[in-house]
Amino acid sequence: MLTKTTRLNLVDQVIVQIESLIESGVWLVGTKIPAEPTLVVELNVSRNTLREGIRALCHAGVLTTKQGDGTYVSSGSTLGKAIQRRIQKSSILDTLEVRNALEQEAARLSAERRTEEDLVNIRLCQQECSSYTASRDIERYVVADLKLHQTIVESTGNQMLIELYAHITDSIQESISLSLRKRFTEELPQNEHSELVEAIAAQDTKEAVNNVQQFFERLKRDIEREYM
C-alpha cells in the first residue's frame, strides 16, 4: 500500500517509495506500473514531481517508459543496474576477483556464524552437486553449484553481502557456467566443495577461506584458457 509523502524532498521520497515497492516484490520486474493519475493521487504529489521521480528511475535503469503504452519495471534495484553497468566495462577476470573476495569473506563469516539449520541447507546443496556429478547432468550441476555458493553467502546473515553477491553472480553466471561445462568434458569435479563445507561445519575460518581461494585459482585458470 502506498503512503502519502510529505512536502519535503518530494521527488526523492517518490523514488524511495517506488524502489521499495519494486524491491519488496509488490511491483515485479516486467510488469506495468499504475497509470500516472493513480500514482499522483496515491502519493499526493503533482504530475511534475511524479514525472521527475520516474524519469530519474528510468535513467537509473529501474524503469522503462514505452511511448503510448506506459512505464514498466525493468530491474529489481538501482544497485543491480549500477553493478551490471560497471561489470559490462570490466574484464571477466576483474569481476571474478571481486567475486573471489566476496566469497572468501562469506566463507569466513559462515564458519563463524552459521546455524545448524544453515549447515543442513549447505549440506543438502553439496549433496545435489555430488548427485549431478555422478549422473553427469551438467545443466543441473551448474544450477546446484551456484545454489551452494549462494546458500553459504546467505548463512552469513549480512544482507549487504548477500545482495552484492547476487548481483555480481547474475552478471557473470554465463561465463562461470561455460567454465564448469568445459570441466565436465575433461575431468569430473568430484566432491569439489566437500572440504569447504566441512571447514564451515567445523567453524574453521582459516580453512574455509583457503578452500575458496583454491577454488577460484582453479576457476581463474580455466577461464584464462577459455578466453585469453
Q: What is the pLDDT of residue 221?
A: 82
pTM: 0.68
Q: What is the pLDDT of residue 142?
A: 82
Q: What is the pLDDT of residue 7?
A: 47
Per-residue pLDDT of the chain (228 residues; tens, 9 = 90+): 566 555 448 888 898 899 888 888 889 888 999 999 999 998 889 999 999 999 999 888 889 999 889 999 987 776 676 777 777 777 778 888 888 899 999 999 999 999 999 999 999 999 999 898 888 888 888 888 889 999 999 999 998 898 888 878 766 666 666 666 666 666 655 667 899 999 999 999 999 999 999 988 887 887 777 666
Ordered structural domains, the chain, with CATH: 10-76 (1.10.10.10), 80-227 (1.20.120.530)
Q: What is the pLDDT of residue 187?
A: 60
Grid cell 514498466 in the structure block, residue:
72
